[in-house]
């Protein structure tokens, strides 16, 4: 009851209406102790269709607003988020179990992408291309795409939407967002601040950014609606396959951010203290529930014993517990399913002959809350659950002898999101980041696999989906490209020297 009251107080402090629900709505639980945070109303199929239609109708006017003016809305949104950073961060902690620092860090990411997008609103550049024909020029221009559908996961309930929303809005698109049913309160609050910012600027909010609260059926309806021109979906590979097929059937774009089985290579010259710190954050942070979490540590045999002992000492004393406490570094996993998946993976590892350290449930103060000590699993070879992504705090270790072998192990999984190498050897660092090295969308040197900045494009290859969000030129996914040929002469020469006289 205390947490439920706190949710209401947080919404009130942000000037937002409290979440509305009823007996047939969605019940939201906190992973901290399993208690009920709120009940929220579910969007019906008819409401989903109506929301998409409103967004499509609004697109016709929003695309005509100059991009810098669209950027003013994103600026106001970012400023509102900054003002309410503490409240939003606490709401993330309550709803997902993230520790306080990570909740605040996610809110800061929302602010950062808004700042990036505001600058971008004056930099939606095309190209001027030399023409082979006299008195002609070629131009490349970029135009708004249409209605963007966003499907986000529970582990980043605010950041992922903002990556998409900030870019999509300055690019002239409208939005329909279906957040995870495990974290709807964060979505309701963030969406409320976006609409509040629009109203403060005198902008009509109808159809600008619609919010759908629902389960799988709501997401499917969003994907299948022909008025949606781009679906940006974050979640499992299985979900991504279904979304990709549905989008392909309608020739619409799919921007997929799926799973990751991320590895770091530890070379003989590596700074092991740096490795331990990076591995602890990347593997145990967010209770191992990041798509960029470190899953595999590929360690040179010469430093393997020393590194294992250092990791065991650190993992043994990692503060696991209530994420609301400042001293806690590892909060609960999201729910029972996550806990059971972790235990199944550890059992499979034992059956394959691996040496399993830690991983048991602890701090059981409530049967509906699942706290676990992050596990370290030693394998002689890369096999079994090491080849799969388990969304839980499990760090697999395997030794290697040759650097080319280590790169092959890094690449020998279905996903291709994030990777890292720890070395003081320039050749190894350059090889790892070359075309012969990591096959991932993110390849780091002397830093872990998680903690990407918004300035770079985020995403990965293979079963990670191939999508790119956030920085760099990721904005191009939200626009359509047109090539324009302008004839400013009085003749009509044809390309490739073709003669066609009439």
Secondary structure string (H, E, C) spanning 26-72: EEEECCCCCCEEEEECCCCHHHHHHHHHHHHHHHHHHCCCCHHHHHH
Q: Please pick, among 114, 171, 267, 291, the residue that the annotation labels catalytic.
A: 291
- Please give the helix or strand (H or E) that residue 17 lies within, else none: none
Report how far residue 262's alpha carbon sits from residue 450's, in angstroms, rounded to the nearest whole number: 9
Report how far residue 150's alpha carbon sits from residue 176's, in angstroms, rounded to the nearest whole number: 6
Place of tokens 């290579």: 265
Q: At what angle do helices 184-200 and 159-170 cross, to 10 degrees?
A: 30
Q: Which of 219, 265, 294, 218 is nearest to 451 (CA)?
A: 294
Please confirm, yes or no, whether 257 is among the known catalytic residues. yes
Q: Please pick, among 95, 102, 109, 257, the residue that the annotation labels catalytic.
A: 257
Report how far residue 225's alpha carbon sits from residue 186's, in angstroms, rounded to the nearest whole number: 25
Q: Mention every residue, 6+ apart, whose C-beta is less than 8 A from residue 246.
A: 220, 223, 224
Three-state secondary structure call for residue 124: coil
HSE at residue 65, side-chain half, CA atoms within 13 A, is 21
Report how far residue 145's alpha carbon sits from residue 80's, in angstroms, rounded to the nearest whole number: 27
Which residues are bridge partners to 232 per DSSP? 150, 255
Please confirm, yes or no, whether 428 is among the known catalytic residues. no
Report how far residue 68's alpha carbon sits from residue 119's, in angstroms, rounded to the nearest whole number: 9
Report how far residue 164's alpha carbon sits from residue 334's, in angstroms, rounded to the nearest whole number: 24
Q: Classify residue 130 by burial, with Cβ atoms within 10 Å: 0-12, 13-18, 19+.
A: exposed
For residue 122, what is the DSSP state? T
HSE at residue 111, side-chain half, CA atoms within 13 A, is 15
Long-range CB contacts for residues 106-109, cutoff 8 Å, separation at least 24:
106/156, 106/157, 106/158, 106/159, 107/81, 107/158, 109/158, 109/159, 109/162, 109/454
Instruction: Tell me the two tokens of residue 369.
Output: 């809350």
Report the catalytic residues: 257, 291
């Amino acid at each position: 009851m205390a947490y439920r009251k706190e949710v209401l107080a947080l919404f009130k402090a942000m000037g937002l209406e409290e979440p509305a629900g009823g007996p047939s709505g969605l019940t939201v639980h906190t992973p901290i102790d399993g208690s009920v945070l709120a009940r929220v109303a579910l969007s019906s199929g008819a409401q989903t269709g109506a929301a998409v239609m409103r967004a499509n109708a609004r697109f016709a006017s929003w695309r005509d607003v100059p991009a810098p003016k669209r950027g003013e809305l994103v600026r106001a949104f970012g400023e509102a988020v900054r003002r309410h950073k503490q409240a939003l961060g606490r709401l993330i902690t309550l709803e997902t179990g993230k520790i306080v620092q990570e909740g605040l860090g996610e809110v800061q990411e929302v602010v950062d992408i808004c700042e990036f997008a505001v600058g971008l609103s004056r930099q939606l550049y095309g190209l001027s291309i030399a023409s082979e024909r006299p008195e002609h020029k070629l131009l490349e221009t970029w135009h708004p795409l249409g209605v963007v559908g966003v499907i986000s996961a529970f582990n980043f309930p605010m950041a992922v939407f903002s990556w998409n929303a900030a870019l999509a809005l300055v690019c002239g698109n409208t939005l329909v967002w279906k957040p995870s049913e495990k974290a709807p309160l964060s979505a309701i609050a963030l969406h409320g601040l976006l609409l509040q910012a629009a109203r403060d600027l005198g902008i009509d909010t109808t159809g600008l950014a619609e919010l759908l609260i629902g389960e799988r059926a709501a997401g499917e309806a969003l994907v299948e609606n022909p008025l949606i021109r781009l679906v940006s979906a974050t979640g499992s590979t299985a979900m991504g396959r279904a979304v990709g097929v549905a989008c392909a059937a309608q020739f619409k774009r799919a921007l997929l951010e799926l799973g990751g089985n991320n590895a770091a290579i530890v070379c003989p010259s590596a700074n092991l203290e740096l490795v331990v710190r990076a591995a602890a954050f990347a593997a145990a942070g967010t209770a191992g529930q990041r798509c960029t979490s470190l899953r595999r540590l590929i360690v040179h045999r010469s430093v393997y014993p020393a590194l294992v002992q250092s990791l065991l000492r650190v993992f043994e004393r990692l503060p696991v517990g209530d994420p609301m406490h400042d001293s806690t570094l590892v909060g609960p996993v999201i729910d029972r399913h996550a806990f059971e998946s972790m235990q199944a993976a550890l059992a499979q590892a034992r059956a394959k002959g691996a040496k399993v350290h830690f991983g048991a449930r602890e701090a059981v103060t409530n049967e509906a809350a699942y706290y676990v000590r992050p596990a370290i699993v030693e394998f002689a070879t890369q096999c079994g659950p090491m080849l799969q992504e388990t969304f839980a705090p499990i760090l697999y270790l395997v030794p290697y002898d040759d650097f080319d072998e280590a790169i092959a192990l890094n690449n020998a999984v279905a996903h291709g999101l994030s990777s890292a190498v720890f070395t003081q050897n320039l050749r190894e660092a350059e090889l790892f980041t070359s075309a012969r090295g990591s096959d991932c969308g993110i390849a780091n040197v002397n830093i872990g696999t998680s903690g990407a900045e918004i300035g770079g494009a985020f995403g990965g290859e293979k079963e990670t989906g191939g999508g790119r969000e956030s920085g760099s030129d990721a904005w191009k996914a939200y626009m359509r490209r047109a090539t324009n040929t302008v004839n400013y002469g009085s003749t009509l020469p044809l390309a490739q020297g073709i003669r066609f006289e009439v």
